[in-house]
Structure 1
Amino acid sequence: MTAPRILVVLDGAAEPIWPWPSTLEAAQMPALDALCDRGAVARVATTPPGLPPGSEVGIPTLLGARLASAPGRGPIEAAAADVTVPEGAGVWRVDVHHHDGRRAVTAEAMLVARDLAAALPDHDVRHLKGHRFLAVGAERPEVEVVASLVVVVWDDGEALAPVLDRRTVVVAAPGAAAGCGRLLGAQVVTPAGATGDVGSDLWAKTRAALAALRDGADAVVLHVGGADEAAHHRDKVGKRAMLEAADADVIRPLARAAADVGGAIAVTSDHATCVETGRHHADPVPAVLAAPAVAPAGAVRLHERLAERSAVWDGPFALLGALR
């Protein structure tokens, strides 16, 4: 029987290198430091050349998909939310932003929800969370502004084809990770309390991951979205707090579980999100792999400055497949 493999994806945890410390560099993450001490630290190219950085690209790439173009975000969100798209219809992710690029918060999005639905009478419009909506209809939504907010309709894109099976379990809140996992063929578990934001119940995700391992899963992917959400709101304190919480509530118990059964664990990001600007970046992101067959190598901590000269594991880099 193959030893289990665990992948922890800290969404948007990485950042560009500035003269001052990044959030990963400043955060106190002793469990992650311990993994670096006994594992191999390098960088992962989660964004193939020419593609935009984002979870819809980075997560499939980490899981082994070979992307020629960016996947459509609408089908991913529909899969995550268990929304059935009627035959002949399309589905689009629709975001509401402030004019300066900041994402609307949930309260603001809810205030304009009726206005957005009224502007798209031929679509079934539903609020997902935060600034995100989903629109299902025959034609691409055409709307630019609602109330005082800018409306952004995501482009169509590549369809994700299955590369996994149900022996891989993805533990995630409703959103990109859950949708990508489902479209790629994995089993998806969304525990109660998992929101994908800074208030997400990380212990609930860890319990679900441990349960999947006990039930015989070959691989478990646990996605933590709160650091990315904090970075988009340019909240340095919130991003650091989320990373430190993930270290205590996710990485520590899962690293112990992997070590107890001779399994492998990897921790990385799906892309970088700059907490100064709130924008995604396509630079390779730091990653650590720890397993009985992996010799310690590379940086002693997992952050951008120390990993800058480390080897780059090119995509599609299937962290899970590499440890079979």
Structure 2
Amino acid sequence: MKYVIVIPDGCADEPMDSLGGKTPLQAAQLPAMDAIAARGFQALSNNTPAHLPAGSEVANLCLLGYDPDVYFTGRAPLEAAAQGITLGPNDWAVRCNLVTIEDQVMVDFTADHVSTAEGTELLKSAQEKILSRDGMDGRLEFVPGVSYRNLLIYRGVDGEPAPFARDTRTSAPHDLTDLSVADDFPRGPGSDWLVRLMNDSAELFADHPVNKKRIAEGKRPATNVWLWGLGGAPSLPSVKERFGVQGVMITAVDLLRGIAALVGWPRIEVEGATGYLDTDYAAKGRAAVEALKEYDVVCVHIEAPDEASHEGRADAKIEALQQIDKHIVAPLVDALAQYGDHRILVLPDHPTFCSTKKHTHGMVPLVIAGTGITADDQTTYDEIAAQASGRTFAKGWDLMQAFLKG
């Protein structure tokens, strides 16, 4: 049996007046996904329990079959795994965004998609001018990632309590777009360290050559670091141990790379995959088709719909969905037919509403078709059709068992 999982990140949405009362999934032309719906069944899945963050970190763990109350320790540790960073029992990872804040408002959680080279230079200055000054070299380290997505690593000492705890509260910057951040700085154990670093970085970056150059080029500056999503080392059993199949991950996002590493999946890095709207959809589709030759499960994650939602652009979200349908889903459906027994699953991790520009709790629509799957009466893939099916996975982590073994 061959299995395919396609994750159009954040594609679930609500009906919009600008789309004539339709959701982006309903408004998009998705012949391949609709064909899957016609020969399979739809359902709703809750991948974001109400007591946990409504983010990709929780939702993708749920989607892949892991109860977040058991396995989730924080977002940053998952991204640390993507970079091959091993966390000891006393260590913590903290997600570090480079952001643009003006008059205490989160203007841009990506700092106008600051380049990786620029971000690396800014964080190098922060390491040298802030952490070295405070005597924290060796205990705290900024680790550059891709563009605005970076990490801060805290190395603990045996016998010494960590400055952070599970109840240290932080806020995801992508959920603060166009909102005041005054009440969203870290709170609780260790928050004094985090807030001080954030404030010190604002002072350092104000006159930094990188930002002077960006402003001269008409780009937004990276005004400071925003620290969030912290946690200690996670421990996850592999997918092969749990379900007896070997998978592979195709993604351009460190969070998914990290989850893949922790569940025992190798990654396929695709040239042209950016984690944004300009990603090379066709290249990801070709890589996924090729991967079917070697792996039992091929999982393709596409960040573009979520990015469009964060920008409040329904048109861009629809276009991203159509590109996914044409260049990823359709070729995979054709390829699966050559392998005999197979199943395909399409679903987002969580809803991201264009109207609010942020992730939200709630059910997401899914469609499954293939060997052993009995079709329902729905013929289009979207939120309304999935709701009409009457089938739900109240605990999102139960879905993978049904998909792989049911």
- TM-score in terms of structure 1 length: 0.89
Which residue of 1 is the match for residue 180 of structure 2? none
Q: Distance in 2 between matches of 1:287 and 1:136?
A: 36
Q: Distance in 1 between matches of 2:349 and 2:237?
A: 19
1:230 counterpart (308, 316, 319): 308
- Counterpart residue number, 2:8: 10
Task: Give the match for residue 100 of structure 1.
Answer: 105
Query: Cα deviation per residue 1:150-201 (whole Å; 9 max; x = unaligned)?
Result: 6232232672412313811111114111111111222222222222111112
Q: Is the contact between residue 56 and residue 71 of structure 1 (CA under 8 Å) also seen in structure 2?
A: no
Name the structure 2 match of 1:81: 83
Residue 290 of structure 1 deviates from its aligned partner by 0.6
Q: What is the aligned partner in structure 1 of residue 44 from structure 2?
A: 43
Equivalent in the alignment of 1:201: 280
1: CA distance, partners of 2:239 / 2:404: 15
Q: Does 1:133 align with 2:150?
A: yes
Write the distance in 2 (CA, Å) between the matches of 1:120 and 1:238: 40
- Could you tell me how far 1:320 is from its partner in structure 2? 6.3
1:312 matched to which residue of 2? 392
Contact 2:92 2:231 in 1 (8 A): no
The answer to whether the 8 A contact 1:12-1:271 is kept is yes
In structure 2, the residue matched to 1:245 is: 323
Alpha-carbon separation, structure 2, partners of 1:153 and 1:266: 31
Alignment partners' CA distance in 1, 2:90 and 2:73: 19
Shift of 1:108: 8.0
| Structure with greater helix share of residues | 2
Cα 1:119–1:232 shift into 2, 3 Å: farther
Please state whether the residue corresponding to 2:371 is helix, strand or coil.
Answer: coil
* Offset, 1:311: 1.8
Q: Displacement, 1:257?
A: 1.6
- Relative distance call for 1:298 and 1:312 in structure 2 (3 A) is farther
Alpha-carbon deviation of 1:270?
A: 0.5
Q: Tell me, which stretches of 5 or more residues in structure 2 are unaligned?
A: 156-162, 164-189, 207-222
Structure 2 Cα separation of the partners of residues 119 and 160 of structure 1: 32
Alpha-carbon separation, structure 2, partners of 1:307 and 1:301:
9
In 2, Cα distance between equivalents of 1:297 and 1:319:
19
1:322 and 2:320 are equivalent in the alignment: no
- The percentage of aligned residue pairs carrying the same residue is 27
* Partner of residue 172, structure 2: none
Letter in 1 for 2:55: G
Q: Which residue of structure 1 aligns with residue 214 of structure 2?
A: none
- One-letter amino acid of the counterpart of residue 172, structure 1: T
Q: How many residue pairs are counted as aligned between the two chains?
A: 321
Whether contact under 8 Å (2:38, 2:377) holds in the other structure is no
Deviation at 1:38, TM superposition (A): 0.9
8 Å contact kept, 1:81–1:174: no
TM-score (norm 2): 0.72
**Aligned to 2:68, what secondary structure does the other structure show?**
coil
Q: Aligned partners of 2:337 and 2:58: how far apart in 1?
A: 30
Q: Deviations over 1:95-143 (max 9, x none)?
A: 2343434422222883754564444443322332343221123366523
For residue 343 of structure 2, what is the aligned residue in structure 1? 264
